[in-house]
Amino acid sequence: MKLIGWIVIIVVLIAIFAFFVPVFPASSQKSEYFGVSSAQVTADVSLTFLVSHCGSYVNAQYTTSFLGVQSSHPLSKGYNFACNVQVSSSSS
């Protein structure tokens, strides 16, 4: 019984870590506009946000570049949590 209890505790701790601790760097695809400007979003995200867009993130920034001049704008302050799961349904 003790071994099963430890296994359950370890699984729960791994699930909490994966859901709430943003340690993975992620960025959106860089979009280019006719070769003169581009945009990119970067952030540190949790494992569940990286996989399913539901979890925590920090340091989200929007970076743009126009004719070689680059600027960054913060999109978030501090620790954030979001679930951006989209469900589609069709009706006949």
pLDDT, residue 83, reads 85
Residue pair 44/23 in contact (Cβ under 8 Å)? The answer is: yes
The pTM for the full model equals 0.71
pLDDT, residue 13, reads 92
Distances 53 to 44, 49, 63, 76 between C-alpha atoms, Å: 12, 4, 20, 16
58-72 exposure pattern, b = at least 16 Cβ within 10 A, e = fewer: bbbeeeebeeeeeee
Task: Tell which wins on pLDDT, 16 or 86.
Answer: 16
Reported confidence tier of residue 89, pLDDT bands at 50, 70, 90 = low
pLDDT, residue 60, reads 92
